[in-house]
Amino acid sequence: MLDKYDAALESWIEETVVNGDDDALFASGYLQGHVAVVLAQLEVEPEQDLSALDSKMFDCLALANSELSDDDYTLVANAWQQLRQRIQAIQG
């Protein structure tokens, strides 16, 4: 399952690099680091489904909310929703 999440992340990043503007590049780069940490955490946990990913990403986004300006946080939160939809689509 985690391999699928990682593959979705990589393809999303590649598309963003090719097609995204500066805001999209910032948000995807910021989010990429957080998703990588979350995927590493999930490797050692029994639950690795979308719900577990959502829970950990919720915590990451809470941290982002305290680190980023409101505008930047909105970019990152929207980027997560785009990536999450991609991950959800590969699950069927």
Instruction: Count the alpha carbons within 13 Å of 65 in the hemisphere toward its beta carbon.
Output: 9
Q: Domain of 23?
A: 2-91
Q: How confident is the model at residue 91 (pLDDT cuts 50, 70, 90)?
A: confident
CA–CA separation, 62 and 58 (whole Å):
6
Averaged pLDDT for residues 56-81: 95
CA–CA separation, 50 and 14 (whole Å):
22
Q: Is the pLDDT of residue 77 over 90?
A: yes
Phi, psi for residue 52 in degrees, rounded to 5: -65, -40
Give pLDDT, residue 1.
Answer: 82
Q: How confident is the model at residue 90 (pLDDT cuts 50, 70, 90)?
A: confident
Beta carbons of 77 and 61 less than 8 angstroms apart: yes
pLDDT, tens digit, for every residue of 4-56? 999 999 999 999 999 999 999 999 999 999 999 999 999 999 999 999 999 99
What is the total count of domains within the chain?
Answer: 1
